[in-house]
Amino acid sequence: MNDPVGQMPKAVIAALRQVLRPVARLLIRHGITLPAVVELLKQVLVDVAISDFPVEGKRTTDSRISVLTGVHRKDVKRLRGIEVDKTNVPKQVSLGMQVVNAWMTDSRWLDAEGNPRPLPRSGADGGPDFETLADSVSNGDVRARSILDELLRLEVVAVEDGRVHLQTGAFVPKQGEQEKLYYFEQAGYAHLMAGVRNLEGAEPPYFDRLVQYHSIPAAELPRLKALVDGQGMDLLKTINRTAKRLNDPEDPDRRSVVVGLYCYSEVPRDEHE
């Protein structure tokens, strides 16, 4: 019996099998079955073949795409004509992210130690307030009250004694699947692409490091988590402040940059089986 998987490089297949496990978990939880996955994979293969593997000075033909991807030419022709949905930043994510970023980096909203200060909901006392912060981000297009309600829904902020308190060091929604999926997409794509480009021999290589142990007592995990939450978040805040100063939408040679830090723990894989 023909076994296409068995004919592929074993090291690559082993790596892909592990990387695809969380993807399979996401698919199963959302009821997305194999036929839909196959169709989606065909779309992505055709799209990547066209965008990332062109022949200089020539049009990428259906036959070439079929050879590169294994997708039948009839499917290639059909998929070329499909308008693939591109993920746009959900409006609530865009506004929320900008509000939190301004709150963390602009001296108007920071205390003497450089931490985001609790803000009165409105400027009744003449000092910095959430309404002014929200209006500075939305330019008055969205009411401050609506932005506050959305941040409350996502549990990014809390209101105590008439003041709005930032609950997190970044825009990390605790609620809202659309918002969580957006960040899952951004972080997953950037981390995997950095790894793939390094496998291709990118020079200089992208920073992609990890610390890995397989026998940490479960009772000690909070100590490591606290280290990541503290020092890791401090590092990301420093990078964020620097990136904000450097950001220039008018530069013709600008780049998208994603910097991430993650910490994950589970029962060792050999004990699952």
- Per-residue pLDDT of the chain (273 residues), as tens digits, is 566 776 778 899 999 999 999 999 999 998 999 999 999 999 999 999 999 999 888 888 999 999 999 999 999 999 987 876 665 655 656 787 788 888 888 888 888 888 889 999 887 655 688 998 988 888 878 888 888 988 888 788 899 988 999 887 655 666 667 778 888 888 999 999 999 999 999 999 999 999 999 999 999 999 999 999 889 888 888 898 899 889 999 999 999 999 988 888 988 866 555
Dist. CA 63–CA 72, nearest whole Å: 9
**pLDDT given at position 175:** 64
Q: What is the pLDDT of residue 143?
A: 87
Predicted confidence at residue 172, as pLDDT, reads: 64
Question: What was the pLDDT predicted at 93?
Answer: 65
Average pLDDT of the chain to the nearest whole number: 86
* pTM of the shown model: 0.74
> So what's the pLDDT on residue 179?
73
Q: Which amino acid is at 70?
A: G
pLDDT at 87: 58
pLDDT of residue 81: 78
